[in-house]
Chain A
Amino acid sequence: MTTPNKPLLARRQFLHGIGGFTLALPVLRSLMPRDTWAGDPPFAANPRFVAFATEHGGVWDEFMFPGAATLTDEQSYAARTVRRGDIALAVDGNTARISPVLSGAADVLTPALAAKLNVMRGLDHPFYIGHHSGGHLGNYAENDGNGADGQYMQAFPRPTIDQTMAYSPSFYPDLSTILERSLVVGNRISWGWSSPESGTGSIQELPPVFSSLELFNRVFVPQDDVITNPRPPVVDRVLDQYRALRQSDRRLSTADRQRIDDHLERLDELQRRLAVVVSCGDVPVPTANSTDEWGSSFAYDPAAQRRFWQLFNDVIAAAFVCGTSRIAVLRVTDNFSDFQGDWHQSVAHEALTPDGGAQNTLWTAHQRFFEDVMLDLARKLDIDEGDGVTMLDNTLMMWSQESGLHTHESISSPVVTFGSAAGEIATGQYLDYRNLDDDGMAGWGDGSSQQLHPGLCYNQWLGNVLSVMGVPASEYESGEHGGYGEVFIGDGRQQFYPSAVFDAAGDMLPWLASS
């Protein structure tokens, strides 16, 4: 592959990764096509999207969320009263704290960084989805089928929002620097069409990457591989080959031709990718790889897990800085705990045990994830892109959990975000969309003190994400209501979700839009 190297620019910052590479950061504005900066709203800059998805959830109210006193404002919305307040950061010695889980070193979780964070609750999957990985980003079909609602939904796969973005011309109006439309780390988190450009074919899982070095090689071309070839790549001839087969009068089935069409779209993407001018071609290859951490004790070694995920953070930050990708989704299945045993059964499924023993293990593990992974990437992205606007400001980073207060129950799964999506989202807020006047879920969770209340629909949030990323509703709304995809209400749950909830599903969530 021929890869001309664009000279790096004079104004630089330095991203010091743990993977053995130091990345000189050119000022990104200079790397971006002029029209994307000078163009009309909605965006002043190319927004980036990061999603972290973690397993289980089940973290109690008092550990996950800021105190209720934080919620100082309220308004009527969708047949309920919703609340908000400004994030308050308490500093105690070297620790800064928004909540027990949302805490970290005070020199990292600074007031300025905390002001770029949102905490949301009251976003529901209004059916029993059980264990799932698809619900995080909108493919509700991907659940374990361990319940009638979930099994029913398996018949209705759809792309996840990251892939909707990745192939939206509104999100990627200019692909000239994009080597990977999306970076997918960890399995079962991202799904797309077999012919993604045309949005046709079947829904299939995006293959995951577990090696940070492999991901690095995808978004940076190692210098050893840059070979000067006077002949153009033969990919255009490859395209001809497939087209010739597609159009030949030899016997093929209709479905055979669809498969060739799928392949042709992929070849078009390959051809596009081969023409990309890599902007950061002198980045040295990292000396460390995430998979180096996979020793026999990895499952209960939070320090090794921290190194594993921070290596990916390095690559993601570098890819964003260099403009070779703008989307990263990561499914984090590590526990961030030294608990040695059956985490699933003995910790996650014991989250509601009143003595709080399992809960203590659970929430401290979530805190480690927040500090070691999410906060780490936020810090790495919080670098000036010019005029005081940072890369993080131009990003929307979200953390979603598989369940809410009760394991298996996706009522009010917490969502934590960093970044304002290039000024589209108001940050520094604790937002609570639950209907506290509805006690109909009392008694769920075997009478646990962790009381559930119905919220708004999670698909409204997913639609909001796409909207602030510049994707028009016409590209993702498909049902009679707004938001991402179709809403399904599970058996016995319709009384919690009045029509006002669905009528509002196409709106921006209260207080979320920047004024």
Chain B
Amino acid sequence: MSTPPNKVTVASVVLLAAVSGCYSGLGGGGGDGGEQADGESTAADGTAGADAGADTGLDEFECDADAVAPELPLRRLSKTQYESTLADLVRWALPTDADAILTEIDPLLATVPDDARKALAGETHGGFRRLDQTVHQSHVNASYDVALTLARELVATEPRRTTVVGTCATDADTGNDAACLEDFITRFGARVMRRPLEPDELPLFRDVFDGDGAAQGMDPEGLIDVITLMLVSPQFLYFVEHGDAAVEGTTDRFWLGGHEIASRLSYHFWQTTPDDALLEAAASGALLTDLGYAAQVDRLIADPRTEVTFGEFYREWLWLDDVAPMDGLIGTPLFDAVRGDFEPGPETTANMVAEVVDMARWYTFTSGGAFEELFLTDRSFARTEDVASIYGVPPWQGGEPPVIDDPARVGLLTRAALVATGGSNTRPIMKGVFIRKGLLCESVPPPPNNAAAMPPELSDEMTTREVVEEITEQEGSACAGCHSTFINALGFATENFDSLGRSRTEQTLFDAQGNVVGARPVDTTSIPQIVTGDMRPSSGAADVAGLMLESNKPQACLARNLVRFTMARPEDELGDGCALQDVATQLVDGVPLVEVLRAVALRPEFRQRRFE
């Protein structure tokens, strides 16, 4: 562990860098690092921007075929993967009693720590749960308790032993016991380990069953020990990878073996253990051929489980777990006045989130859409009346989604989940930060110490935008450097939606008791500077979305997130440069999203591992 230097000079350097950070351009994940745009294009209103319209998104990445990303060491199953794997195992071993057994172990599964969304270093927002690789004592304790209980359940009765182990386990013939045990260990072990047992494993488990001579016949206690040991083995809880043949021209990179690839594929797309077809493809060697591998990728993507997995991807990428409760302030005078006749329920937040996830899933898996279609959609995917009423459309019943008849409601940026706060006030600063960090993958320097102590309050004289400008855009202030140029402008673009996501042209002004005291028109114009130095103005969300697409930065950002999610680790600028460039290029070129998902899995990095 390193320790901080006890010198003020270091902090001074950091602070100066932070304050000046926004003047010279934003850095971090977006990677533009203040890079100046070099194109010449014309804004929507015909205004030529300084260095406007630069194609910077793809320039972020540099492909060096010899560069290799640091490997994530001995990945463990995520909690979701662990639970799904156990469920599939029980259903495979004992289909008739599976539900009862899974109910029995459910309280123990609840003691497995939840995975946290792991953001990049230095970031407090965003991140994916599958990047959480911490192993706590409670992981180990809980997995042992789960294994032991599950093992007891699987062999608790004679009928269960007959199904799980075989009739040989419960018949009167003791002469077949040895073969019976060997068959069970081989068959059950292969399913648990996700590969055939190694030569030394069969005697190991036979020895465990024997229990220093304690086992008599097909002793259930011996079976419990065998199953328990399997279910807490490193081969079950982790992705144990040894690799196979060396990658040509390298000494530390190896192609994964067939079963290792099967696990990577299955857990990436389905969050669970490989099915029979995958295991067979691994065993036959088909997975080690390009054609056989591609065929399995296609099969996995076509399975509904992949859609669920990528629903989780979109949910986490777009920070949708951070959407605030919409009904928390019902009953307070000011909020009640703001909401008027609209009464959000306890499910409204979940419904808003589901709408965005469904939208992303529909364009990815149903319509065959490209990123631009998703980003600029004018369709509603709201399945419930509360959210649909915000858009003024009927609830979506499946099939062709209804068109939102509101020219202001353009694309992803204007979805209720992304603009609603659940409070009385909108939060343009946070909307701007989300776009910068979440959709453009840029890092925003921290504010000066204690700058956040004075949050913008709802005013009875000014719009929220005017309040924010007054607090954060005073000329010459430390705040203005970032807020006036890179944060606020993005958030102001959607100020034509209120704190519950409803469209508006003016902001009603209230006093603290919720009495209407006036109204002022909302202003969504800004100079968003998607690319540093691009001074083209925007009239609102549609222009901002257009400028974003033109910059290719959201596509590059999605590429980063896809690589992050696929490899379950932060992307490495050099080692993942080729993958990032490849994926971002496909997104910019309008390749359907589902094809992009396929392309990520077809990258050679997905089938290789580095050993240091």
A interacts with B: yes
B266 at the A interface (CB under 8 A): no
Determine chain B's interface SS by DSSP, over half rule: loop
* CB of B52 to closest CB in A, whole Å: 32
The answer, among A149, A153, A234, A407, for a CB contact under 8 Å with B453, is: A407
Enumerate A140-157 residues with CB–CB distance to B below 8 Å.
Answer: 144-157
Chain A residues within an 8 Å CB radius of B158: none
In the complex, are the beta carbons of B8 and A490 less than 8 A apart?
A: yes
In the complex the two chains form, is B225's CB within 8 Å of A154's CB? no
Judged by a CB distance under 8 angstroms, whether B331 is at the interface is: yes
Instruction: Known contacts A259-B135, A263-B234, A269-B140; decide if A486 and B11 are in contact (CB<8 Å).
Output: no
Chain A residues, Cβ within 8 Å of B234: 241-242, 245, 260, 263
> Which of chain B's residues have a CB closer than 8 A to the CB of A488?
4-6, 11
A28 to B454, CA, bound (A): 51
Q: Are B73 and A255 in contact (CB under 8 A)?
A: yes
Tell me the residues in window 206-247 of chain B with beta carbons closer than 8 Å to chain A beta carbons.
Answer: 208, 211, 214, 221-222, 225, 228-229, 232-234, 238, 240, 242-243
A231/B225 in contact, CB under 8 A = yes
When distances are taken between beta carbons in the complex, the residues of chain B under 8 Å from A293 are none
Number of residue pairs A-B, CB distance < 8 angstroms: 197
CB within 8 Å for A485 and B450 given contacts A152-B14, A206-B136, A241-B233: no
Which chain B positions have C-beta within 8 A of A152? Answer: 4, 10-11, 14
Q: Which of B74, B140, B152, B240 contacts A267 (CB 8 A)?
A: B140
Name the one of A127, A262, A486 contacting B3, with C-beta atoms under 8 angstroms.
Answer: A486
Task: Return the chain B residue nearest A346 by Cβ.
Answer: B457
B447 CB contact (under 8 Å) in A147, A245, A273: A147
Q: When A237-B208, A341-B329 are in contact, do A252 and B611 touch as well, CB less than 8 Å? A: yes
B148 nearest in chain A by CB position = A1
Question: Bound state CA distance, A481 and B451, in angstroms?
Answer: 31
Bound: A263/B144 CA distance, A = 12
Nearest CB of chain A from residue B451's CB, rounded to whole Å? 7
Q: Given A157-B1, A252-B242, A480 and B6 touching (CB < 8 A)?
A: yes
Whether A234 contacts B225 by the Cβ 8 Å rule is yes
Contact at B135–A491, with CB atoms within 8 Å? Answer: no
Instruction: A139 to B604: give the CA distance in the assembly, Å.
Output: 40
Contact residues of A: prevailing secondary structure = loop
Residues of A within 8 A of B136 (CB): 204, 206-207, 266
Known: A144-B124, A207-B113, A214-B111. A270 touches B141 (CB 8 A): yes
Interface string of B527-550 (1 = CB under 8 A from A): 000000000000000000000000
Q: Pick the contact of B446 from A151, A207, A256, A340 — CB < 8 Å?
A: A151
Q: Which of the residues A144, A270, A481, A490 comes within 8 Å of B449, measured between beta carbons?
A: A490
Residues of B within 8 A of A258 (CB): 73
0 or 1 for each of B285-317: is its CB under 8 Å from A? (1 = yes): 000000000000000000000000000000000
Interface string of A192-213 (1 = CB under 8 A from B): 0010100000011111000100
Chain A interfacial residues counted at CB < 8 A:
82
Q: Contact check, B74 vs A266: say whether CB atoms are below 8 A apart.
A: no
When chains A and B are docked, how far (Å) is the Cα of A187 from the Cα of B325?
A: 20
**Of A211, A266, A409, the contact of B137 (CB 8 Å cutoff):** A266
In Å, the complex CA distance between A490 and B10 comes to 9
Query: Is the pair A408, B229 in contact by a Cβ cutoff of 8 Å?
Result: no
Contact A230 B214 (CB under 8 A): yes
Q: Who on chain A is nearest to B112 by CB?
A: A207
Q: Give Cα A486 to B451, complex, Å.
A: 26
Closest to B233 in A: A241
The distance from the CB of B567 to the nearest CB of chain A, in whole angstroms, is 15
User: Is A299 an interface position by the 8 A CB rule?
Assistant: yes
Shortest Cβ distance from A229 into B: residue: B221
Question: Could you name 12 residue pairs across A and B whose Cβ atoms are closer than 8 Å?
Answer: A146-B447, A148-B14, A152-B4, A156-B4, A205-B134, A207-B138, A227-B152, A231-B211, A252-B611, A260-B234, A342-B329, A408-B450
A-B contact sample (17 more), CB < 8 A, given A214-B111, A255-B71, A409-B450:
A146-B451, A147-B446, A147-B447, A147-B449, A148-B14, A149-B11, A203-B1, A253-B612, A255-B73, A255-B74, A256-B73, A262-B135, A269-B137, A345-B455, A479-B6, A486-B4, A489-B11
Q: Which residues of A contact B (CB under 8 A)?
A: 1, 127-128, 130, 144-158, 194, 196, 203-207, 211, 214, 217, 227, 229-231, 234-235, 237-238, 241-242, 245, 250-256, 258-260, 262-263, 266-267, 269-270, 273, 296, 299, 340-342, 345, 349, 406-409, 478-481, 485-494
